[in-house]
Structure 1
Amino acid sequence: MVSLKRIYTLTGLVFLIIILGITAFTTWYTVDESDQAVILTFGKVEEGITEPGLHFKLPWPIQSVEKLSKETFSLQFGYEDKGGKSKDFPEETKMITGDENIVMADLVVQWKITNPEKYLYNSSNPKEILHDATSASLRSIIGNSKIDDALTSGKAKIEADVRELLTSLIEKYDIGISVLAVKLQDVELPNDEVRKAFTDVTDARETANTKLNEAQKYKNQKMNEANGEKDALISRAEGEKAARLERARGDVAVFNKLYNEYKNNPDITRERLVIETLEQVLPNAEIYIMNDDGNTMKYFPIRPLEKEESKPKAEGSENNE
């Protein structure tokens, strides 16, 4: 028979081996570059480990390690992609805009764990809280936006507003998560009839804007032409004004000079002015100064006779040639 002492000895050795094995395998751990760890001492968080490599701790059950990823996660709101297949959740994405139109909106939230302790122990399901906060933020912003903004050029502002509101909610919940980015995926109308009606309204609005732009362009063209004509008239008027002023100054200078001459020799100046005036009034007239001695013939047209005499002489010289 085996003695009790031997049984106790073997049992003690087995427990010792188990304890040594647990100690050997639970006093060290490794942290990858893509991971972060939290050390727990009897269930209480002691410190966070972010440096990769080999680390040591007290054996289990005194201390334990919880590892979490540092990578960026994606929350798909309104749909789910798995294995290359996409599944939609229309009840999540259906919401009402500020001008009382129904749209279907889904988005992606990029987030990461920044405080492992709060992520692990401040809530039982932080991912569900993030999902509900995303839904509340998106519905709040869409509910304060117009349908045109949600479907066209206002998406960037909606994304920024959703991110700001979602970040404030996550900070208030204090679950150790940071929101990195928010990206709207699809914002569309619920059915074909509504899409067609909205398309018709959009086309009519674009046509109206086109007509308004064309009218504004025509108005600007005519205004530019009118302004150009106005500037040309003003320029010509200024030039005419300057020319007339210069002519007036010249006439004044001439008059002053004649007046000075007239004061010195009034008779001569008077006769000169008469002659110059006659030359201007009758530029082609021939003036003869005659002495009236009482004869019958007081004017003899010498110049026409000279012209008649010079004409035959000219013709004779041509015949000789």
Structure 2
Amino acid sequence: MAWNEPGNNDKDPWKNKGGKNQGPPDLDELLNDLGKKVSGIFGGKGGGKGGSAPSGKSMSTIGISLVLIIAIVVYAFSGFYTIKEAEKGIVLRFGQYAGTVDPGINWKWTFVDRIIPIDMQSTREMQSSGFMLTQDENVVQVEMQIQYRVIDARDYVFSVTNADDSLNQSLDSALRYVVGHAKMDAILTSGRELIRQSVWEELEKIIKPYNLGLIIVDVNFKDARPPNEVKDAFDDAISAQEDEVRFLREAEAYARGIEPRARGRVKRMEQEAIAYKGQIVLDAQGEVARFEKILPEYQAAPEVTRQRLYIATMEKVYSNTSKVMVDVDGGNNMIYLPLDKIMQQQSTTQRISPQSYSQPQQQSSINSSPSTSGRSDRFDNGSN
């Protein structure tokens, strides 16, 4: 039969455990034992005998103790927090600055301390733009961007009410100050880099007394343009300025190409003049030396030397001419010998028919005989 059938409860395992009649564990006894242990821990006295039931006062003490233990555990675990690698924590104890904590796992007094994490490594961006009045009383729309990051967490939180807003107002002030002291042409064209540097310097000068805990990493001049109503006119002016710069560059390039060639020609002409000068001086010196050699001979035999110089000169002259004039003695006629034509005719005749070469040769010898006799006679007369 089953142990739990009616009329047969002797086999109940809860009542006859270990060979004795025992019932299931009593919940009141468990709570009483736990209350005694807790009371012993907190300095209280234990209850009565094991069989007596706990009183109401002991039960309330046990409940309070459990609540306290759980509250202490929860409070202890709630105080742990983590600061990221790129951050630094500002500790506020009852609202007052109490120090900073480094990245990692830390612990705080809950409800006493408050932690403000500050990003120290990320680079932040901020822009400023608007219509501004230039030094030459023109209106221009300028847009500028800065990059910055936090270097001092305490100054960033406590120096001013809002460090980012203060930096934004300082950027507007610096930008309007620099643009107000610059001309519009410089802002739109060639002076952009100077404007950027000036804004950077002016911004650092403005924020320095406030100790914002920030550092300016970079300043970017993004855009500068005139109002839309006069944009076309300014575009034409900018195009004209660009053309001016381009023409200047082309002129400079042309000058750099022409000047070396001109200097080269000048140098060549100087060298040629020096060479010509040297040649003339050497020729004159040679003439002087030749004259000095002829002078003693002339002094010894003037007539012979004169005739010899004349003959040498005539030989030089006749060697360079193709025409000969022969004066026949005893008459008023002169014989003209076109030697160049005769030589050209001979060469032509030789190319056509070599057999016809003898007759022109005889005719040429006949024609040239008077000139030879006349020339010899003239030389003889001259020598006599």
TM > 0.5: yes
Q: Partner residue of 2:117?
A: 67
Quote the Cα distance in structure 2 between the aligned partners of 1:45 and 1:119.
13
Q: Residues 236 and 270 (structure 1 numbering): CA distance in 2 closer, same or farther, change over 3 Å?
A: farther
Aligned partner of residue 100 in structure 1, secondary structure: coil
In structure 2, the residue matched to 1:158 is 195
Aligned residue among 190, 195, 214 for 1:177: 214
CA distance in 1, matches of 2:126, 2:291: 99
Aligned to 1:18: 71
1:255 and 2:291 matched: yes
Residues 90, 97 of structure 2: 8 Å contact kept: yes
Distance 1:219 1:122, change over 3 A: closer
Instruction: Kindly indicate whether residue 275 of structure 2 is the aligned counterpart of residue 239 of structure 1.
Output: yes
How do 1:215-226 and structure 2 match up within 5 A? Answer: none
CA 1:174 to 1:217, structure 2 compared with 1: closer, same or farther past 3 Å?
closer
Between the two structures, name the one with larger relative contact order (CA 8 Å, sep ≥ 6): 1
Structure 1 residue 196: deviation in Å? 1.3
Determine the structure 2 residue equivalent to 1:47. Answer: 99
The match for 1:76 is 127
d(CA) in 2 for partners of 1:218, 1:58? 77
One-letter code aligned to 2:166: I
Percent identity between matched residues is 24
Alignment of 1:271 with 2:304, yes or no, is: yes
- Which of 20, 26, 29 is the matching residue for 2:81? 29
Length, aligned pairs only: 273
1:86-165 matched pairs, under 5 angstroms:
93-165=130-202
TM (normalized to structure 1)?
0.69
Deviation at 1:198?
Answer: 1.1
TM, length-normalised to structure 2: 0.59
Deviation readout 1:201-232 (Å, 9 max, x if unpaired): 23344455556666777777777776566545
Give 5+ residue unaligned stretches, structure 1: 79-92, 287-297, 305-310, 317-321
Q: Give the residue type in structure 2 aligned to 1:258.
A: I
The alpha-carbon distance between structure 1 residues 210 and 183, as it changes in their structure 2 partners (threshold 3 A), is: closer
- Pair 1:10–1:64, CA change in 2 (3 A): same
Shift of 1:129: 0.3
What is the rounded CA distance, in whole Å, between the counterparts of 1:253 and 1:46 in structure 2?
114
Q: Is the 8 A contact 1:40 1:46 kept in 2?
A: yes
The answer to whether the Cα contact below 8 Å between 1:170 and 1:178 also exists between their aligned partners in 2 is no
In the alignment, the residues of structure 2 paired with residue 218 and residue 33 of structure 1 have an alpha-carbon distance, to the nearest angstrom, of 61
Distance 1:190 1:5, change over 3 A: farther
Amino acid at match of 1:279: A
